[in-house]
A and B are shown apart, each in its own frame.
Chain A
């Protein structure tokens, strides 16, 4: 959600703040998440482990970095290419937000697989994950729109997002490393 809100601020200088700009952003985020959920679910079928899980976090962190460096060049290019600001903002949203959001979408179903211990508790696990991710979205939305934009530049907030996801990925890797040590000995 933090990323989505900043998306609106990134696009405004080129495509304005008309309703269709927000329409484009929300469409692309929803589309990306749906693709992410599907691929994340598929991926969880093949030898799921915390290492891969950590790498999904790290990959999504990395995928935001091009947005920081190339957003202006990409939007310049789209602005030249597409006259209609509706399709311009849609194309720009796809270029800037699709890949990172697909990868972020993969986290949710993969988390279900990692955390589920039995068929019996799977509903509870999924419920808990929905709780965590939606609450996280709510918190991300409010701190970004109320405070972050007042304290930092957009790119600095994006770097913060990158760092948080990167650290989360590292934590998953470290936990996995600690776990796997004793299992190798036994």
Chain B
């Protein structure tokens, strides 16, 4: 399994082998299973593959902790964009990202877009995801949401793409045209973050696609595993020095995240084959490239 979630899977594979199933839900897209083991509750999509792909996990002893490393890494964006007014998250999962953001940035409006209504339902029931006037959920395809939002002349300061954890990659969310649309929806100096694929040919294609739309990229690689977060900004230049808001930093520490350590790992290094062509709506065999 070469999915970007390979990293959390490896960590939890041993304990999840004997994890207890506490709920099963059949949605129009897939079967969703909620499991529990050692005070760790996880949402997973049932698949025939041997490896288990957890979509979301919550630590029942410390519900605010961000269990997956990639969700922690995304928080590095807070150094680049310290006080976003509106955040858009494509792919809700268990809702751990919107929950964390609402803790750190109580005045920020956080909109999550999720295609599967059953996932949103289970996030509320089993993962403490709560909606209010600041935390909103829209049950839609991510691309349709973004196209509509552009039409309504909305703007977001930070867009996070987190819709690629399933067995099947939504290819229309991985094309140049889609990224151009997210760029349009970003406010000036807005930030885009995405957890990306690694360990297959798709790595080169995806990286080049981001490069073709955004002039400036920063990447954050996991120190131990292959996965990587891309940060792209709609700006002339990334800030030379990141401003670390003391309050934000302390709040992150409470969630177990060291912002300064994350920033040190942000890099400009291009380690992909830049000769491949970007993925477009006309050419998007992402699933075939990710073998």
| Chain A interface residues (CB < 8 Å from chain B) | 9, 12-19, 79-80, 83, 85, 146, 149-150, 152-155
Contact = CB atoms under 8 A, between A and B. Distances in A.
A18 B115 CA distance: 7
B172 A153 contact: no
Nearest to A150: B285
Interface in B1-49: 28-29
Contact of A16 (B172, B285, B289): B172
B144 interface: yes
Interface of B: 28-29, 115, 140-144, 147-148, 151, 170-172, 175, 177-178, 280-285, 288-289
A12 B283 contact: no
Contacts of B178: 13
A10 to B, nearest CB: 8
Contacts of B147: 14, 79
B144 A15 contact: yes
B140 A149 contact: no
A140 to B, nearest CB: 17
B51 to A, nearest CB: 23
A150 B282 contact: no
Contacts of A152: 283
Contact of B141 (A15, A146, A149): A15
A16 B281 contact: no
A16 B143 contact: yes
Given A85-B140, A85-B144, A16 B282 contact: no
Contacts of A150: 285, 288-289
Given A153-B282, A153-B283, A154-B282, A12 B143 contact: yes
A141 to B, nearest CB: 15
A17 B141 contact: yes
A142 to B, nearest CB: 13
26 contacts: A9-B172, A9-B284, A12-B143, A13-B172, A13-B177, A13-B178, A13-B281, A14-B144, A15-B141, A15-B144, A16-B115, A16-B142, A16-B143, A16-B144, A17-B171, A17-B172, A18-B115, A19-B28, A83-B148, A146-B288, A149-B285, A149-B288, A150-B289, A152-B283, A153-B280, A153-B282
